[in-house]
Every structure is written in structure tokens, then in C-alpha cells.
């Protein structure tokens, strides 16, 4: 959520990377359980535009471009502010800045404050616990994209360009284990069967490949939070993963003991039926999420406000009303523990 701004993203990879002291073509280690490890000299670009007339895409004006780059093993973020002429963007001072914009809507004009993050604020979310890069992961990239008139799955495009380094045996073993478990086999028996099937028997181990072990259809993906065809649990969990899990994860920056990752089972998230460690906002019998009772749910309260105690903490001055309604419906539909 970026206060209703339109966003466009680019990923710039160097042609080569250093591996075992040699320069080799760039290959990104493929993984399904965290964000991808990108090489030195990578640059990620995200640009933000505001509609000066709400609901009219032709009124968009670029206001900010953010760069996240890895140099000599360290990630750093920089913010650039676009000029009124839309001809260039200048580096924002390291302390960050605020700017007000006028937005016209059917209800009249309103002033919207836009926050350009400081260098240190960039790294609050782009933290070591989040592996620094937030959106470059299998669950986030497993979706279609329009490449100038050609629509294809983004994972398949990475594969087609030869940009992946896939531990094929590990991925195939994981897929086989999932299939065996789905057929009703116990975890122990499935592990034995996989070990038997993948035993080398004196042969060389399978080499890394640039090909995916299976079709993108068989990898997990985030649901569109606002696609009514998807179950509401998947939609709400996808929103929390994309907007909150960079901090609210094991060893993350959030000091509440939550794990809001999409892959975490609901009963392992330390969320439902758990009393808050911090502010209760005057709510009687408050819980982080009170099943069936949104009004007793601190998570919903934090997302619904701006000011002290708001979530997300940084770079937002407007409440995401659609998300509030989505999460309210999700909590209302939860069964209370028996």
C-alpha cells in the first residue's frame, strides 16, 4: 500500500557475477521459501505516480523514484524526487522529506502529504530478516505480466532468459514429497520414498539447471487480495504477506512475536487469540486477532488508523480502506476456538 499511488517496477541485473573467484553469467539461486539472493551490482527501481484527478489515469504525475542497489555485498536505498516539468528526478537528502500535493476528487480537493523516506528508513523494511529485497520471490513473481504485448508468467520468463540456477534434485524431491503426502502417505514414509528415489547409487549428483523443476502452475503464488473468485483467507493472508511480513517474521524488525508470511499455517502465526504485548487502544478483552470479532482485533485497529500505533509505520498517511474491509470480513468469518 502506497497511499493510492500508481507504481511501476524494474529489475536491472549485471551481465556477470563473481563465483568462486571467476566472472560467470548471472544466475539467481531459485528458492521457494524466501526472497531471492540477487548479485552485486543489481539495481531495483520503483517509481510512484499520483493521479492529480482521482480516477483519471491520464492525470498521473511522477513524484518519486526509489533505487535499491547491492554494491560490495551491501544493500542501500535512495529516493529521487521528480520535478514539476517531469524531466528529471533529483536525489532526496539523506534525512528524507515531505511534500504536499493537491488531489481533486468527486468530493472536492484534498491535500495529500507524500513522504520521501530517509536512507535509514529504507532499510527498516528492506532488512536482513527480509533478505533485503521484498518482492523478488517465487510467490510474488508467480503471476502473468504484459511484456509489451506478450503476456507470460514471470517465472517462465526468468527461466526462458536463463537467469535461474535451480537445484533440480532438491526441487524435484520437494515436489515428489508433496505428491506423496497429498496421496495420504505419512511424512515419515514419504521421506523414505523420496530418499530411495533420489539415491545416487554411485552416480554423479544432478547438476544445477537453469530450468524449473515443474510448471509455474505447481508453485505457490499470492492471491490478488481483491479477486472475489479467491477464498478470502488466501486474499487476506496475501495482503498481510506483501505489506507486513517483511517485519513481522521470525527475527524481523517488528517487536510483536508474529509470523505473517503466507506460507505459515494460521495456527503457527501467533496471531489469532493472542493477547497484544503492546498497546490495546482501550479495547476490552483485546487480542491481536479475535476470531469472529473485528472490533476486539488490534491488528485491524492498527491498519485502520494513521498516527500513533499505525501500521504500516512508515511512508503512509492514508488508510487503505479496501484492505480494512477485506481484513474485517476475514476476521468476521473466523470460527471462535471451541
Q: What kind and span of H or E run contains 227?
A: none
CB 89 within 8 A of CB 80: yes
Query: What percent of the chain is modeled with pLDDT above 70?
Result: 97
Whole-number Å distance between alpha carbons of 240 and 248: 9
Tell whether 311 is covered by a domain: yes
Q: Name the pTM for this structure.
A: 0.89
CB 116 within 8 A of CB 81: yes
Tell whether 292 is covered by a domain: yes
Tell whether 223 is covered by a domain: no
3-state secondary structure of 90: strand
Can you state the angle between helices 232-244 and 321-332, rounded to 10 degrees?
A: 130
Residues 192 and 136 in one domain: no
Q: Tens digits of per-residue pLDDT, 238-283? A: 999 999 998 888 766 666 679 999 999 999 999 999 999 889 999 9
- How many domains is the chain built from? 3
Residues 138 and 247 in one domain: no
Residues 275 and 176 in one domain: no
The residue segments making up the domain with residue 255 are: 232-332
Tell whether 107 is covered by a domain: yes
Tell whether 216 is covered by a domain: no
Residues 19 and 135 in one domain: yes
Residues 241 and 201 in one domain: no
Query: What count of other Cβ atoms lies within 10 Å of the Cβ of residue 186?
Result: 10
Residues 40 and 142 in one domain: yes
CB 254 within 8 A of CB 127: no
Grid-cell match 476476521, residue found: 331
In the prediction, which pLDDT does 254 show? 61
CB 45 within 8 A of CB 51: no
Q: Tens digits of per-residue pLDDT, 50-86? A: 999 999 999 999 999 999 999 999 999 999 999 999 9
Tell whether 161 is covered by a domain: no
Residues 236 and 199 in one domain: no
Whole-number Å distance between alpha carbons of 171 and 158: 16
Residues 19 and 140 in one domain: yes
Residues 201 and 254 in one domain: no
Q: Tens digits of per-residue pLDDT, 89-132? A: 999 999 999 999 999 999 999 999 999 999 999 998 898 888 89
Residues 193 and 103 in one domain: no
Residues 140 and 255 in one domain: no
What residues have CB less than 8 Å from 85, skipping those under 6 apart? none
Query: What count of other Cβ atoms lies within 10 Å of the Cβ of residue 276?
Result: 17
Residues 142 and 22 in one domain: yes
Amino acid at each position: 500500500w502506497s497511499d493510492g499511488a500508481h507504481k511501476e517496477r524494474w529489475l536491472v541485473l549485471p551481465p556477470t557475477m563473481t563465483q568462486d573467484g571467476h566472472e560467470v553469467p548471472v544466475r539467481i539461486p531459485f528458492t521457494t521459501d524466501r526472497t531471492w539472493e540477487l548479485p552485486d551490482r543489481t539495481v531495483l527501481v520503483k517509481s510512484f505516480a499520483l493521479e492529480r484527478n482521482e480516477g483519471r489515469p491520464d492525470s498521473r504525475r511522477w513524484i518519486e523514484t526509489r533505487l535499491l542497489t547491492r554494491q560490495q555485498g551491501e544493500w542501500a536505498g535512495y529516493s529521487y524526487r521528480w520535478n514539476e516539468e517531469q524531466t528529471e528526478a533529483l536525489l532526496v537528502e539523506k534525512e528524507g522529506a515531505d511534500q504536499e500535493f493537491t488531489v481533486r476528487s468527486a468530493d472536492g480537493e484534498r491535500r495529500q502529504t507524500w513522504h520521501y523516506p530517509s536512507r535509514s528508513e529504507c532499510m527498516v523494511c528492506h532488512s536482513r530478516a527480509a533478505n533485503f529485497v521484498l518482492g523478488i520471490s517465487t510467490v510474488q513473481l508467480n503471476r502473468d505480466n504484459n511484456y509489451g504485448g506478450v503476456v507470460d508468467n514471470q517465472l517462465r520468463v526468468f527461466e526462458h532468459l536463463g537467469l535461474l540456477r535451480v537445484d533440480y534434485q532438491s526441487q524435484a524431491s520437494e515436489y515428489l514429497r508433496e505428491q506423496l503426502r497429498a496421496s495420504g502417505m505419512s511424512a515419515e514414509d514419504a521421506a523414505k520414498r523420496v530418499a530411495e528415489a533420489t539415491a545416487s547409487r554411485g552416480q554423479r549428483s544432478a547438476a544445477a539447471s537453469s530450468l524449473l523443476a515443474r510448471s509455474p502452475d505447481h508453485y505457490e503464488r499470492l492471491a490478488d487480495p481483491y479477486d472475489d473468485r479467491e477464498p478470502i483467507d488466501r486474499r487476506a493472508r496475501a495482503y498481510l504477506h506483501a505489506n507486513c511480513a517483511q517485519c513481522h517474521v521470525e527475527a524481523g524488525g517488528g517487536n510483536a512475536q508474529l509470523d505473517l508470511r503466507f506460507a505459515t499455517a494460521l495456527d503457527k502465526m501467533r496471531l489469532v487469540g493472542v493477547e497484544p504485548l503492546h498497546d490495546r487502544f482501550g479495547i476490552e478483552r483485546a487480542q491481536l486477532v479475535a476470531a469472529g470479532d473485528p472490533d476486539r482485533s488490534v491488528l485491524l485497529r492498527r491498519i485502520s488508523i494513521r498516527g500513533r500505533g499505525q501500521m504500516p509505520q512508515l511512508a503512509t498517511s492514508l488508510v487503505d480502506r479496501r484492505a480494512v474491509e477485506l481484513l474485517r470480513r476475514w476476521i468476521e468469518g473466523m470460527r471462535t476456538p471451541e
